[in-house]
Amino acid sequence: MVKLAVVIHAEEEFNWRSGFSRKNTKVSDCETLVHVIDSLTAAGAKVTLAMDFPFVTSDRGRAAIRYLRVQHENNIEFAAHLHPWVSPPFDNTIDEEHAKYSFPGNLPAELEYQKIRLLKQTIESECQREVVTYLAGRYGLGEATSGNLSRLGFKVDLSICPFRDYSHLGGPNFQGYDNRVFTRNGITHIPHTSGLFSSMPWVGAYLNENPAVYRRICQSTSFRSAIRLLQLDVRRLSPEGANFQQMCDTVRALRHAGQDHFVMSFHSSSLVAGSTPYTATPSDVDTMVSDILAFGHWFMVEQQGQAFLPQQLVGSSEIITADQLGVVL
């Protein structure tokens, strides 16, 4: 049985190429977002809305939450998504708008804790539900994050992006991870599904089935030339940078490699033309919406998939531990 979680990064619109500013808190009308969620749930999917501080405190975000929590009571989970540069409390003794601190795991541990704490509290009071699932902004897990999440009662983390390395930007390196769900220190980690692709299709297929070989390539001193030689590309299961057929290909490739839990993700701001690099025009937004809905239908109906919310995996006997992953993380 294949299982799908849809995770939407619900956040403000800002120019991704212009750095990070505390002033960028604009949240537009959520009509398209709500339409997409209504349509996905009608196809049998369940949706996780991972919200950041500007979204959950905006009039438009709050109106969407009020509607969604009544309309889709058991098919929606509200999670916390931390964009630290727009999420109080602020500490003016460090330059919080510096790119380094856009990865919240790079903040001083106590400041990361306080930001997550206030965000969780704000979402819980708006949604009237306990928040147990966390998604770091820019996938920025850090050394103290796991302990902070445990202290705050979180049970699930969605921040791992398998095969990707953000260390050249000051962020985490996830090349040691693959797509398997696992638990560590009481937190269930559900990675953002990602596949490896190459212009030589057998290379991608082989590496998806043998992620340990990919890890060895990444550890080798000449790995950049190996990656170039193999023309390797990491593709997230997302309509951002992939079309409907490519998303289906990602699922097929990873199913073949034994994967059964999938996370399809995108940003709420991609549904507002001109906000993210993926949708410059209204017609791009229309295309993305139709790809999202086609994928939801394909997975849930044609593949007879089962929908899940991240919180539903907590305590599941199917989930392996970090030790059983068999990799050094």
Residues that bind Zn ion (CB under 5 A): 9, 11, 137
Q: Give me the least distance between CB of 199 and Zn ion, in Å please.
A: 30
Q: Half-sphere exposure of residue 19, counting CA atoms within 13 Å on the CB side?
A: 9
* Nearest residue (CB) to Zn ion, 23 versus 302: 23
Strands (E), 92-246: 133-136, 156-157, 182-184, 187-189, 194-198, 232-236
Q: Give me the least distance between CB of 52 and Zn ion, in Å please.
A: 6
Q: Give 116's contacts (C-beta < 8 A, 6+ positions apart).
A: 80, 82, 104, 134, 148, 149, 152, 154
* Nearest residue (CB) to Zn ion, 9 versus 261: 9
CA dist 207 and 218 (Å) reads 12
Q: Give me the least distance between CB of 221 and Zn ion, in Å please.
A: 34
* Nearest residue (CB) to Zn ion, 16 versus 121: 16
Helices (H) and strands (E) in the chain, counts: 11, 12
* Nearest residue (CB) to Zn ion, 41 versus 102: 102
Q: Give me the least distance between CB of 72 and Zn ion, in Å please.
A: 22
Q: Which residue is nearest to Zn ion (CB)?
A: 9
* Nearest residue (CB) to Zn ion, 104 versus 137: 137
Q: Give me the least distance between CB of 9 and Zn ion, in Å please.
A: 4
CA dist 274 and 14 (Å) reads 9
* Nearest residue (CB) to Zn ion, 137 versus 171: 137
Q: Give me the least distance between CB of 174 and Zn ion, in Å please.
A: 16
Cα 181–Cα 107–Cα 50 angle in degrees, nearest 5? 45
Q: What is the DSSP letter of 10?
A: E
Q: How far apart are the first and last CA of the chain?
A: 28
Q: Which among 85, 80, 175, 145 is positioned nearest to 119, based on CA atoms?
A: 80
